[in-house]
Amino acid sequence: MSVEQEEKKYSGNNIQVLEGLEAVRKRPSMYIGDTSSKGLHHLVNEVVDNSIDEALGGFATTIDVTITEDNSIKVVDDGRGIPVDEQEQMHKSALEVVMTVLHAGGKFDKGSYKVSGGLHGVGVSCVNALSTYLRAEVSRLGKVYMQEYSCGKPTCPVTVIGDTDKHGTSIYFHPDDSIFTETIYDYSILANRLRDLAFLNAGITLTLTDLREKNDKGEPKKETFYSKTGLDEFVRYIDSNKEHLINDIIHISTERQGIPVEVAMTYNTSFNENIYSFVNNINTIEGGTHLTGFRRGLGATLKKYADDSKMLEKVKVEISKDDFREGLTAVISVKVLEPQFEGQTKTKLGNNEVIGAVETSVREVLGNYLEEHPNQAKAIVEKVILAATARHAAQSARLKVQRKSPLSGGGLPGKLADCSSRSPEDSELFLVEGDSAGGSAKQGRDRAFQAILPLRGKILNVEKAMDHKIFDSEAIVNMFRALGVTIGTDEDPKEANLTKLRYHRIIIMTDADVDGAHIATLLMTFFFRRIRPIIENGYLYIATPPLYRCSKGTVMEYCWNDMQLRQFIDKYGHGEEKQVKVQRYKGLGEMNPEQLWETTMNPENRMLKQVHISDAAEADRIFSMLMGEDVAPRRQFIEDNATYANIDA
């Protein structure tokens, strides 16, 4: 076909204009990030954030979230209620405009909302577009108004359905399963978000009810989240499983340059820094100018106090800014009228005026605290000196893990059975417990893209180890070398450098028993505490080997859990377990190479669980509890979460 013929074929009729919410349905990831579990839960956040904005304005005090039996969501607040009168630009009810038009909402009118998280105005309309059914009810001015929608389009006009003496908004929606790859809501993800919001907005009551799960009395699972004092309770919650260095929570609540600044901080005896920052209730996981201001204020104030008190005179090592943050837990929350975020994902604050507002607030309040509490101040400075001493010891120790060129192979550990691929995107590394399982994995793998690193001996619990001790661990040194990851720069001694990462799938493969689960937890603790970007980039996975090999005559199946085993017995053994042959795998080493490949390593058959962080603060609390010194909360966690828990007295 000639160019002229192609030009005639390509006409104005080929240019599509996506009207209304069609663009959202066509490209949902542009608006909510993705269409997996993360995007599914983001829908709830968008609706809840609208209710929170009402609370920030002083118009709402309660927000109720319900997961229904069919995985629909209902969010109810006692705010003012979305306006229902005619919106003059569109000549439609304001409720319909808010629910069906992008960039429409009260957030753009500074008289309606002083601060708001959802500045783009695409929140609830996106939820509507991505739901097969949505019902909005508004209690306002003595009446209850209702409108229903399907895939973002109204199916009825705004209708009065009753009288009321209440006020507020109710949104009920069912996500479109033709768009989302995951449609089952995770209770814990929603609970963690509502808990954060309760801490960030003192005095507001949030509830989460799960109608899918009921107790013996037929009552649904339900939690209420409420904080009287806010961020200081948030810090105590995060640090609940750590040993306190000081018992006080240093709480800063003030306003600078018209910016409300709230900070709560304390110190514990751990070797980790845990700072969580929020802007208008949005978790800025990449930090930003508010975090910069906090760190400047913290370092300058502590350094001045240490110098003035002459506590550093006999210290032989140089104190770095990072030493002031070891063992620190802090939450920073600022409210900004017009926040500037880097990118649509809103993960990094860019407003420069926030730096000075936070820094001066921290300098003033922290400085006063140190002067008024000399014992606590001394404990903090001594912790800083200890951190500096350990850092200098770690500088030489970490040189052990600096590997040479991947092509030369000179820096790779001897036990690594590497793959032939040199493309990180195509390569995967199996971390295998023990030489026996490692031998089967080496024989059963696909050498083209699968590497095997057997791990011998006990994995170090990095939760309770200082940096220089970590680099003394042979297993950890081998992992660093195999991965191609380096730790520590002159600017940041704990920063992980992933530029030479050799594998983009790092798979923990352990036995399917208690010991295997413990080793897997130790390894996840290592990655979370020391190479967190591995998890944040989606590179860490858990292999799931089968528990049973079942056979009856010529029929053979692998079973990954007891339910599958029972189904096999019921189907082929007519409910009688004497009737089928069941092999229980107690360890990976019991499988021959072919079986291990077929069930656990073959990309076409295997089931990998990707490790991700939905709430860093909650993850920190869980790891501290699981791997820390205190036994009681760990026992309680196991009893609450294990389906079958055999806990020794």
pLDDT per residue as tens digits for the range 411-457: 677 789 999 999 999 999 999 987 778 888 999 999 999 999 998 77
pLDDT confidence of 211, banded at 50, 70, 90? very high
pLDDT for 103 beyond 70: no
Which pLDDT does position 407 carry in this prediction?
36
Identified catalytic residue from 86, 243, 382, 513: 513
Which pLDDT does position 588 carry in this prediction?
85
Residue 513 designated active-site: yes
pLDDT confidence of 642, banded at 50, 70, 90? low
Average per-residue pLDDT for the chain = 85
Identified catalytic residue from 196, 232, 433, 618: 433
pLDDT for 408 beyond 50: no
pLDDT for 244 beyond 90: yes
Percent of the chain with pLDDT over 70: 86
- Residue 522 CB contacts under 8 Å (≥ 6 apart), including other chains: 459, 460, 461, 627
Which of 149, 147, 145 lies closest to 168, judged by CA?
145
Which pLDDT does position 402 carry in this prediction?
52
Mean pLDDT (whole number) for 143-148: 96
Higher per-residue confidence, 198 vs 636: 198
Which pLDDT does position 405 carry in this prediction?
37
Which pLDDT does position 18 carry in this prediction?
46
pLDDT for 14 beyond 50: no
Rg (C-alpha) for the chain, rounded Å, is: 28
Which pLDDT does position 178 carry in this prediction?
94
Higher per-residue confidence, 322 vs 226: 226
Residue with the two structure tokens 């971390």: 431
C-alpha to C-alpha distance for 641 and 649, rounded to whole angstroms: 18
Residue with the two structure tokens 């209690």: 139
pLDDT digits (tens, 9 = 90+) for 290-343: 999 999 999 999 999 999 999 988 888 888 888 889 899 999 999 998 888 875
Instruction: Kindly state the DSSP code that residue 315 receives in the 8-state scheme.
Output: -
pLDDT for 561 beyond 90: no
Which pLDDT does position 216 carry in this prediction?
87
Residue 433 designated active-site: yes
pLDDT for 121 beyond 50: no
pLDDT for 507 beyond 90: yes
Which pLDDT does position 196 carry in this prediction?
94
DSSP string, 98-167: HHHSTT-SGGG-TTT-SS-S-TTS-HHHHHHHTEEEEEEEEEETTEEEEEEEETTEESS--EEEEE-S--
Is the Cα torsion angle 40, 45, 48, 49 positive or negative in sign? negative
Which pLDDT does position 114 carry in this prediction?
53
Higher per-residue confidence, 633 vs 275: 275
Please state, in angstroms and as integers, the Cα–Cα distance from residue 564 to each residue in 140, 491, 550, 559, 606, following that order. 52, 52, 10, 5, 16
Identified catalytic residue from 307, 426, 435, 515: 515
Lowest mean pLDDT among 56-65, 368-377, 467-476: 467-476
Lowest mean pLDDT among 72-86, 473-487, 571-585: 571-585
Higher per-residue confidence, 388 vs 20: 388
pLDDT confidence of 219, banded at 50, 70, 90? very high
Identified catalytic residue from 511, 615, 618, 620: 511
Instruction: Kindly state the DSSP code that residue 599 receives in the 8-state scheme.
Output: I
Which pLDDT does position 560 carry in this prediction?
87
pLDDT for 41 beyond 90: yes
pLDDT confidence of 264, banded at 50, 70, 90? very high
Instruction: Go through the domains of the chain in sequence order and give each one's CATH number.
Output: 22-225 (3.30.565.10), 231-397 (3.30.230.10), 402-543 (3.40.50.670)
Which pLDDT does position 631 carry in this prediction?
67
Give the strand pairing for 555-559 and 548-552: antiparallel
